[in-house]
A and B are shown apart, each in its own frame.
Chain A
Amino acid sequence: MIEKTSRRMDELWESIAVPATAFVRELGDIVLFGITSIRLSFTKPYRYTEIIKHMEFVGNQSVFIVALTALFTGLALSFQLYLGFKLFNAVNMVGPTVALGITRELGPVLTGLIVAARAGGAMAARLGTMRVNEQIDALDVMGVNTKQYLIAPRIYAAVICMPLLTAIFDFVAMLGAYILCVKLVDLDEAVFWDRVNQMIAIRHINEGLFKSAIFGGFFALICTYRGFNTTGGAKGVGDATNKGVVASMVMIIILDYFLTNVFIRSFYSLTGIPQ
């Protein structure tokens, strides 16, 4: 009886400890992977052209899909808020509420999710394919530092482009809100902009832009790590892409909560700036 219980306890412990250990080990690997890549980016040869090339892919090629999503997010969000605020005669608050929600939360989070799915998935798939086709091995034996050449430029490109894309998202989403409130449901234009001006400060926009840069760094790191360490042919590439994108998206949502807390609890309360 005791032996049976002990065996079950061992099995239970193993079922918890083994995946937990693997998770912590992988987390450590990802952190080291990122640190090494960034450290190497400060050694010669500097990869400016690679950064620009990846910025074109992460940034420029994401503009349309980000703007399209932003437009409909602005339209839908302001419509829902309009219906809600109308119940207690506060429709004038639709503009600033949309603006606050977009600039501080929805802008960076939705941009992060869209770009992680589009560019992050492509990063994982591209690197995974390079790995299984031995192109990364070819770079290694050519004496090219693969982390410096393949990883660091992608991380920088994502960190630089994400705030720019978020700014576009914010702008287009507000345009959507404006179209709905002013053109479709006949809110007064002057009141709409006046309220937005009153409630929104540059720091709210900056908060979102700062968050998005961090999201960019994280999804690029996770997706490049997955792609770079792909094993097992076409299935491996698919798995790496899938895991990279899913982990990035979940990470963005979790990080957003903590970053919001950091801003509200630390920054605003320490500086005395109203939230």
Chain B
Amino acid sequence: MTSEEVKPPAEPAILLTDVKKTFDGKEFVVNGMNLSIPKGSLTAIIGFSGTGKSVMLKHILGLYRPTSGKIEVLGQDITELSDDELTIFRQKFGVLFQGAALFDDMTVLENVCFPLFEHRREMPEEKVIQIATTKLKQVGLDEKHFNKLPSQISGGMQKRTGLARALALDPEIIFYDEPTTGLDPILTEMVDNLILETHKLREGMTSIMVSHDLDAAFRIADYVAMLNAGQVLLFGTPEDFFNTEIELVKKFVAKGMKRR
């Protein structure tokens, strides 16, 4: 399915319609992007470096506003929301950043408690700690690390903490921004499995993973979208990617899989 003929296979969690973005008024980083991500799916976004993956993700998160086009998230056109409305809307999201983006002056437990203290103000402190503890255990983090600062734990543990924090508010959509970049193969597999387990954990939760890791994308994702030059070159199941006739996709998949 190319960008010109997007047919949503199910109710979309995210729907991008002819989204364009330019920062300097000349070059379009996102150039007429059309994409429909089904609700409840685990979708991987792949593509060469500089094809607009991270920019697209930031548009969906409302961190960037498109120059033109429409971005619907859970049925809401987020391009029409004010900054304050967007802030409230984003409570439906959970994001695991590339470097986990943990607050370095807070302990592991405090990091996970933070979104709960912010948005569940009526909740007693004991309950917040109990939820945070559950989330941390869910992602496989041992209790002995709870009171450590992010700088005192390994990269893998930081990812787990970041994921627990992203899950703290039970989000409807969870985003993974290049979650395995810079990790060794064992940690990469661990994080991939964690993403899959987390996705299965909550029915109806939509997971979107921006990744360079084709092996993981084809192994764990329900759908894959490949971007090129600010557009969706191909969107489909992993099988669609292996059977495609689009030369660039074939080349990218062949090289990406070979590297593994």
Contact = CB atoms under 8 A, between A and B. Distances in A.
A binds B: yes
Interface of A: 45, 133-135, 137-138, 140-145
B87 A144 contact: yes
Given A137-B63, A138-B95, A143 B101 contact: no
B118 A133 contact: no
B61 interface: yes
Given A45-B121, A134-B98, A141 B93 contact: yes
A151 to B, nearest CB: 14
Contacts of B115: 142-144
Contacts of A133: 99, 101, 104
A135 B165 CA distance: 12
23 contacts: A45-B118, A45-B121, A134-B98, A134-B101, A135-B101, A137-B97, A138-B97, A140-B63, A140-B87, A140-B90, A141-B63, A141-B90, A141-B93, A141-B95, A142-B90, A142-B95, A142-B118, A143-B87, A143-B91, A143-B93, A143-B118, A144-B87, A144-B115
Nearest to A45: B121
A137 to B, nearest CB: 6
Interface in B166-223: 169, 175
B30 to A, nearest CB: 18
Interface string B112-136: 0011001101000000000000000
A235 to B, nearest CB: 17
B42 to A, nearest CB: 19
A38 to B, nearest CB: 15
A140 B97 CA distance: 12
Contacts of B63: 137, 140-141
Contacts of B88: 143
Given A133-B104, A143-B90, 18 more contacts: A133-B99, A133-B101, A134-B98, A134-B101, A137-B97, A138-B101, A140-B61, A140-B87, A141-B61, A141-B95, A142-B95, A142-B169, A143-B87, A143-B88, A143-B118, A144-B87, A144-B115, A145-B87
B244 to A, nearest CB: 33
B252 interface: no
A152 to B, nearest CB: 14
Interface string B63-87: 1000000000000000000001001
A223 B28 CA distance: 32
A142 B96 CA distance: 11
A175 to B, nearest CB: 36
Contacts of A144: 87, 115, 118
A145 B86 CA distance: 10
Contacts of A135: 101-104
Contacts of B175: 141
